[in-house]
Amino acid sequence: MSSEESWNPSTNAQQFFADQWAKALSAFPSVASDASHKPGVQFDSSKLQALQQDYVQEAAKLWANGLASPAASQDKRFGGAPWLSNPLAALTASTYLLNAKALTGMADAIEADEKTRQRVRFAVEQWVAAMSPSNYLALNPEAQQKAIDTKGESLAKGIQNLLHDMEQGHVSMTDESVFEVGKNVATTEGAVVYENEIFQLIEYKPLTAKVHERPFLLVPPCINKYYILDLQPENSLIRYAVSQGHRTFVVSWRNPDESLGHLTWDDYIEEALLRAIKVVQEIGGTPQINALGFCVGGTMLSAALAVLAARNEHPVASATLLTTLVDFTDTGVLDVFIDETFVQMREAQMGQGGLLKGQELASTFSFLRPNDLVWNYVVGNYLKGETPPAFDLLYWNSDATNLPGPWYAWYLRNMYLENNMVQPGKLSVSGTPLDLGAIDIPVYIYGSREDHIVPITASYAATQVLPGNKRFVMGASGHIAGVINPPAKKKRSHWIREDGALPATHSEWLSGAQELAGSWWTDWAQWLQGHAGKLVPAPKRYGRATKYKAIEDAPGRYVQQRA
């Protein structure tokens, strides 16, 4: 999308659109097939005409202003002084933004089924992000100026950074040398009290003289390391739970290697979730515990609770689901990848064994936000030779985890593709049919307003599936930042309906909700306290008697394993 190609308004706008459209889709053959060859796919003529008219008018303004044309200063990619002071660079940036706006508008103007529209939009967004002039040394005046100022040192450092990232297999988002698991992340004091080939169970040292009689088990997603819940003391949800007087445990998933490539969804529910619940119950010496599931951990916890209900077992008194998909009707941007062909391919590749490599999964999630999580670091690391700042959350994000192929293939088909878990009796785990309608316990359901992985409407959908006494709370920000929002930071806000109503849709719920400043953690802590039982003296040692002894200090071996 160079200025020579497009910014002259005398160019035929329709031909320009056709040329750029073909280029945008060429990098995504399956999308191009959908958009170009699928019967009935065409553009809304009125929207397309309006786009062309707007394009010609905006291009004429650029032509009239010539080299004096300023870049759109509100776009942080072009907000630096070298962009604004260099007329040619400013014009290049302005031209790019005009073309990007036109192509995005075309994606929105396509007349097709929603699946095709989503795929086309995703393809265009990826191409537009990649084609930004800021991504190329020859077009980036900031990178050029830095090379001059440093007498080429920034370019040499950029090459070093590139070679380093090629060796480690991913783009560095943070200075990973600053962090070490167990040293300055995942530091809450505790011990591993149980382990099998799938997970370790960590128990944390009490911070209060008395604890609630019902122990508390956290189930993080198995597609990530558990310490997103225990980054550093000031933003650790685990430490917060311990400080609230809960005898706290967490599942630390093993990072599977080829020897575990045979593991299935059944294995994870039966040998991990149900086993962890049983062990915590036995260590606590109580008939019931409380449990929390985050993201995929919440989906697995829901399946485990359905298995227990079908077996007429009730060891869990209450559950908390954080940004969790239970009903997979709305899966957000991830839906662009899922169809029968894709799922069959994955089943053929790894359905009978093998691994989904952690870096492949991490790259997929990064490209859901390409400007922020990919190209931003390409520019900083390689063109400018910078070391990204230390950030605990991004260190965790780069600490990828493998997945067993059979688990992954089963999850894709039965959850994302066919949404089978909300159909009573459609799925079974270890021969036990699942019915979410049988999970008749209190549930706290949290969703993040700007979540692009579990849309807020999808988080809310769980309120219409689970039958027990439910409380729904919405927080600001996204999938991770919305969840990891400690009260002491006094950041963001959350929404609550004091009348407790849970109408059919999230929009109806929101119309009666009240926005409150600060973290949702305090509301959740009050709710959990109501289900935690009386206070009893805090235990003096980890585990219980001779059956469950401390194996090693937290954070344990499993979380240290790299993909």
Q: Which position among 201, 279, 295, 427 bears the catalytic label?
A: 295
pLDDT in tens, the chain (563 residues): 444 444 343 344 455 555 655 555 554 445 545 544 444 457 888 888 888 888 888 888 877 776 555 545 678 899 889 988 888 888 889 889 988 988 888 888 888 888 888 888 888 999 999 999 999 999 999 999 999 999 999 999 999 999 999 988 889 999 999 999 999 999 999 999 999 999 999 999 999 999 999 999 999 999 999 999 999 999 999 999 999 999 999 999 999 999 999 999 999 999 999 999 999 999 999 999 999 999 999 999 999 999 999 999 999 999 999 999 999 999 988 888 899 999 999 999 999 999 999 888 888 888 888 998 899 999 999 999 999 999 999 999 999 899 999 999 999 999 999 999 999 999 999 899 999 999 999 999 999 999 999 999 999 999 999 998 999 999 999 999 999 999 999 999 999 999 999 999 999 999 999 999 999 999 999 999 999 999 999 999 999 877 899 999 999 999 999 87
Q: Which candidate, 461, 462, 465, 469, places its Cα nearest to that of 507?
A: 461
For residue 18, the model assigns a pLDDT of 56
Residues 6 or more apart in contact with residue 459 via CB below 8 angstroms: 321, 323, 324, 325, 445, 446, 447, 448, 451, 474
Residue 3: predicted pLDDT: 40
Question: How confident is the model at residue 19, as a pLDDT?
Answer: 60
Kindly list the distances between the CA atom of residue 205 and the CA atoms of 98, 242, 281, 431, in Å, as whole numbers in the listed order. Answer: 57, 8, 17, 37
Query: Do the bridges between strand 552-553 and strand 190-195 make them parallel or antiparallel, or are there none, so unpaired?
Result: antiparallel
- How many Å apart are CA 274 and CA 278, to the nearest integer? 6
The distance of Cα 474 from the centroid of its chain, to the nearest Å, equals 16
pLDDT of residue 2: 43
Residue ranges, CATH 3.40.50.1820, the chain: 190-357+400-560
Active site residue 295: yes
As a whole number of angstroms, the distance between CA 245 and CA 349 comes to 47
* Structural class in CATH, domain 190-357+400-560: alpha beta
Indicate yes or no: pTM above 0.95: no
Q: Is residue 133 within 8 Å of 378, Cβ to Cβ?
A: no
Task: Count the Cβ atoms, other than its own, within 10 Å of residue 364.
Answer: 11
Q: Which residue do the tokens 């407790």 mark?
A: 500
What are 90's two structure tokens? 């400013």
DSSP state string for 15-67 = HHHHHHHHHHHHT-HHHHHHHHHSTT-EE-HHHHHHHHHHHHHHHHHHHHHGG
For helices 13-26 and 29-37, the axis angle rounded to 10 degrees is 140
